[in-house]
Structure 1
Amino acid sequence: MSVEERENFLAGTHIGVLSAADGDAPLLVPIWYGYRPGGDIRISTSSGTRKFELIRTAVSVGFAVQRETMPYRYVSVDGPVVGYEPTDPGEYRAWSIRYLGPDQGERFFAVVRDGLDDWVTFRIRPERWRTFDFGKEFA
């Protein structure tokens, strides 16, 4: 994929898979995320969890998204965690709507909003990119 194609694909609505080192075996978890072309990947998680500690102390993490229908595509990146801050409820509300649609997203957000007080949003800087577009490779 070109730089524009890979960044636009990553900016699409996909469930991401985050990878963080955990001793001899990596932690791999599906996760909602936000990304704007040219920016950092943003993910949120509750503080005090294993996932939080692994991301907070990681030198680098991996992140991948894919299209599971033809033509298959994927974007996989790795890079450093460049910062984190308390999760912005407005941003998380937007993610809820993005992933669940307007009605279900609002209902879900209403349930989780009060629990976001201990959540943190991490920023991951994509440095190494791997991509594949089945439609281009086998057209």
Structure 2
Amino acid sequence: MKALSPTERDAFLSEPHVGVLSVASDDGRPPLTVPVWYAYADGVITFFTGTQGRKARKTRLIERAGVLSFCVQKTEFPYRYVTAECTVVGAEREPSVEKVLAVTSRYLPADAARGFAEAETSNPTGTFVLFTARPDRWSSVDFAGE
């Protein structure tokens, strides 16, 4: 077991894994933890909330806290994971199709990814938010040597 180098970490995060974010909750509840599609480029993580006009509790919590934890893991051997403590540095309510496509194209076929991005950006409801988070502290493990 060893930590990933920054180059290995960046390559791992560039693969289309599902991320899991955690953000402080309110009303004495535990942190909210949810899976999200994400993109990783230029040292920042982008992901969205509030799709299809649905209000997302996580949107309010992320905006209030301004920080979150993010985890990505590989569930097949050799196991790997990366976690990051992040500062939220952007919240776009009317992002461009290209910015949304940077996320959706990692998980959907090209036509479906574009259709999703265009649908979300063509009729802004105020609930769709593209967040950008800057990792401040990293932790990672690679179990390849186990």
| Superposition TM-score tier, normalisation by shorter sequence | 0.7 to 0.9
Determine if contact 1:89/1:116 at 8 Å carries over to the other structure.
no
Aligned match of 1:130 in 139, 143, 146? 139
Q: What secondary structure does 1:4 align onto?
A: helix
2:18 counterpart of 1:18? no
Aligned match of 1:2 in 2, 5, 18? 5
Report the AA paired with residue 91 of structure 1: K
Aligned match of 2:35 in 30, 33, 55? 30
* Range 121-130 or range 107-116, more displaced: 107-116
Q: Offset at 1:14? A: 0.8
CA distance in 1, matches of 2:79, 2:124: 35
Which structure 2 segments of 5+ residues have no match? Answer: none
CA distance in 2, matches of 1:85, 1:109: 14
Determine if contact 1:60/1:78 at 8 Å carries over to the other structure.
yes
Residues 43-63 of structure 1, C-alpha deviations (whole Å, 9 max, x = no match): 111284211100101142000
CA distance in 2, matches of 1:105, 1:49: 21
Taking structure 1 as the reference length, the TM-score comes to 0.84
Residue of structure 1 in register with 2:72 after alignment: 65
- Aligned length, in residue pairs: 136
Residues 79-134 of structure 1, C-alpha deviations (whole Å, 9 max, x = no match): 21122223222222343222022244345456555455532211111011110111
Which structure 1 segments of 5+ residues have no match? Answer: none
Cα distance change of structure 1 residues 112 and 48 upon mapping to structure 2, 3 Å threshold:
closer
Q: What secondary structure does 1:100 align onto?
A: coil
Residue of structure 1 in register with 2:88 after alignment: 81
CA distance in 1, matches of 2:123, 2:79: 36
Residue of structure 2 in register with 1:105 after alignment: 113
Report the AA paired with residue 4 of structure 1: T
* Range 68-77 or range 98-107, more displaced: 98-107
CA distance in 1, matches of 2:12, 2:38: 13
2:53 counterpart of 1:45? no
Q: What secondary structure does 2:77 align onto?
A: coil
Over aligned residue pairs, what C-alpha RMSD do you find?
A: 2.2
CA distance in 1, matches of 2:77, 2:90: 36
